[in-house]
Amino acid sequence: MEKRFDTTLLEEMLSASMRPLLIGHFNPDGDSVGSLAGMYHYLRERGMTPSAVLPSPYPDYLAFLIGEDTPVTIHSHEDNSARELISSADLLICFDFNRLSRTEQLEEDILASKVPKVLIDHHPFPEVEYFDLVYSEIEVSSSCELLFWVLMSMSDVEGDVSSLGLKCAESLYVGMMTDTNNFYNSVSASTFEMASLLTDAGVDKTRLQECVYNNYSVDRMRLMGHLLKDCLYVIEDCGVAYLLLSDADKRLYNFAIGDSEGFVNLPLSIKGIRISALFSELDKGQDKYIRVSLRSKGDLDVNRFASLYCNGGGHLNAAGGRLYMPFEKVGPYIEKSFREFLKIG
Ligand SMILES: [Mn+2]
């Protein structure tokens, strides 16, 4: 249950560092923001002054983890501050991604940096060659859980959860909670143990659930209703169901970043459905593509499907990718692809 890690090298790197920089992935989710914020607060508790960057904005429902006391620099085309932070840092710690390309426009800057690099991640096949120290476990629920057990192994923590500080503890809890879809997938004994230790140490799980899951707009609720009623497609003989979220519908329902969170899981509650997908049209000038999210049950490998048909990857039961085609072609393309992938009809 309890996991132990060798933290000798990490502790050496941290004590040698004056300007550590924490980096999350593009389209940051709860796990990426949670692990970044968790490490941030842990280092602050120890008198260090870390910085943090994200390649793109985070959803509103995570704002409570990143208050004024956790300054995070968000990269944008117009502003070079994230790039400057990368070039001036003396240690880079990356969270919740296995490929540097997940940092999008910051990838080049990270590659150009010659300082020690650490990766803390739970996706398969991480690009270990770019890092000096890698904590990678794919059996673990989330990067937050992995970071939790790494921190618990640190010589200044030695298994004492209260020494992490409440903000660190809350951040790690939120990342684990969101990546497991509120304890629904990828949960093992060590995940429950982590949750139990964190709640014992004062984490208010009800408050965190309220902040994350009961904080949506009316528009988001109506958009979900519209999607389920008018934009849900079922390929019955394949056990596949998918949702098509167009840019026009997003505009109609005042879509905000994070509003489609959880939508992809909805079709999985239909009897007989074992794979679900969400295709979300993005139409922002030059960044025009269709964002793909995939979920599956059992041994159906959507990581493989994403890499074969959707220019992406992820985990066995949760993956993502991108399609470059007119939105109206997605339905026929995906039905054909699933038939080929599952060898049906
Ligand atoms: Mn994750």
Give the per-residue pLDDT at 284.
Answer: 73
Cα–chain center distance at 275 = 20
pLDDT digit string (tens) for 175-218? 999 999 999 989 999 999 999 999 999 999 999 999 999 999 99
Distance from CA of residue 273 to its chain's centroid?
24
**230 Cα to the center of ligand 1, angstroms:** 30
Residue 245 near residue 263, CB atoms below 8 Å:
yes
pLDDT band at 287 (very low <50, low <70, confident <90, very high): confident
Q: Is the distance from CB of 325 to CB of 333 less than 8 angstroms?
A: yes
For residue 14, how far is its CA from the centre of ligand 1 (angstroms)?
A: 23
Q: What is the whole-number distance in angstroms between the Cα of residue 237 and the centre of ligand 1?
A: 31
Domain ranges of the chain: 8-213, 218-342
pLDDT score of 68: 75
- Helix 166-179 vs helix 205-213: angle between axes, to the nearest 10 degrees? 50
The mean pLDDT value for 239-268 works out to: 96
Q: Please, are residues 119 and 24 in contact by the beta-carbon 8 Å criterion?
A: no
Ligand 1: centre distance to CA 205 (Å): 19
- Tell me how far the alpha carbon of residue 161 lies from the centroid of ligand 1, in angstroms: 22
pLDDT-based confidence at residue 285 (cuts at 50, 70, 90): low
How far, in Å, from the CA of 315 to the mean position of ligand 1?
9
Residues 115-125 have a mean pLDDT of: 97
**CB-CB contact of 218 with 257 (8 Å):** no
How much of the chain exceeds pLDDT 90, in percent? 92
How far, in Å, from the CA of 34 to the mean position of ligand 1? 9
For residues 120 and 31, is the Cβ–Cβ distance under 8 A? no
57-77 pLDDT per residue, tens: 999 889 999 877 778 999 998
Distance 142 CA to ligand 1 centre (A): 5
Ligand 1 centroid–CA 318 distance in Å is: 10
The fold adopted by the segment(s) 218-342 is Diaminopimelate Epimerase; Chain A, domain 1 (3.10.310)
Q: How many residues does the chain have?
A: 345
CATH of domain 8-213: 3.90.1640.10
Q: Which amino acid is at 328?
A: E
Alpha-carbon Rg for the chain, nearest whole angstrom, is 20
pLDDT in tens, 71-97: 899 999 889 999 999 999 999 999 999
Q: How far is the CA of 290 from the centre of ligand 1 (A)?
A: 21
Strands 275-284 and 313-314, by their bridges, are: unpaired
